Homo-oligomer: A and B are copies of this chain.
Amino acid sequence: MSVDERREQLIAVALELFSRRAPEEVSIDDIAAAAGASRPLVYHYFPGKQALYEESLRRAGRELSARFEEPMEGPLSERLLRVMGRYLDFVQSHGPGFAALLRGGSVAASAGTSAVIDDVRRAAQEQILAHLAIPSPSPGLRLTVRAWIANAEITSLEWLGERSVPLEELQLHLVQEFVAALTLTAAREPALAAELGSFLADEHPDGPTGRLVRDLAGLFAVPGILDAVTALATGEPASGDSESSGADGGSKSSGPGGVGGADGTGGAATG
């Protein structure tokens, strides 16, 4: 093996071990043994375990960032669904070893490891913003994307510990949460709202967004929900105890679209 090949091989072997076990449970001897190399040889290439750990994390970060790349074609939620499939696959294979680092409780955390994690988060954010194809994303939209990435991280790390739902459900839910977060941001930002219609027009009824729309619409069939939402939309109290502030609450619905929304929900009531 050439010098470069040996170095790459040691990183690959270390990444394999650090993906399955916490860094404190992996020794230089373990890495040497798995690579079929001697301990001095490993030290010839890397000053110590931390350097090898950071190098393998860097490799993992590059592999993960590469999985975010997705052709700019088809409904947005289906692109994200494919990306999340690859992401969760990565979480399953590398998560057990790196979970403590991502949760912020690892002894191996350093300026080097946070730089890698920040780079991956930034790559995820930039990819999503690129797919949204909005010329100048607002601070609010950037924050929404960043917060959703944190949601995906935390949710998948928690899932790794408990595996309380099937992986495919987690994948779908995360995508639907992105669609919901984007919609919420659009409800506050007229410029984004103007784009939302064309995103939604490209979605398929059997895709993540279509299923979300029907699941949410299904809530209106649950006793009490439609009445309560109608009361909130029109500003007329549905129950006695909300009378105190209900009197002037209705004034808010005179804003753009407020009346349309009240009509829309009212229409559903009689549908």
Contact = CB atoms under 8 A, between A and B. Distances in A.
A262 interface: yes
Interface in A93-143: 101-107, 109-111, 113-115, 117-118, 139-140, 143
Interface of A: 75, 101-107, 109-111, 113-115, 117-118, 139-140, 143, 146-148, 150-151, 153-155, 158-159, 162, 164-165, 173, 176-177, 180-181, 183-184, 186-188, 190, 193-194, 196-198, 200-207, 209-229, 231-239, 241-242, 244-246, 248-250, 252-253, 255-271
A227 B201 contact: yes
A210 B187 contact: no
Contacts of A205: 231-232, 234-237, 242, 245-246, 249-250, 252-253
Contacts of A176: 184
Contacts of A245: 204-207
Top-8 shortest CB links A-B: A217-B261, A197-B224, A218-B257, A205-B249, A105-B114, A264-B268, A221-B257, A267-B267
A147 to B, nearest CB: 4
Contacts of A258: 214, 217-218
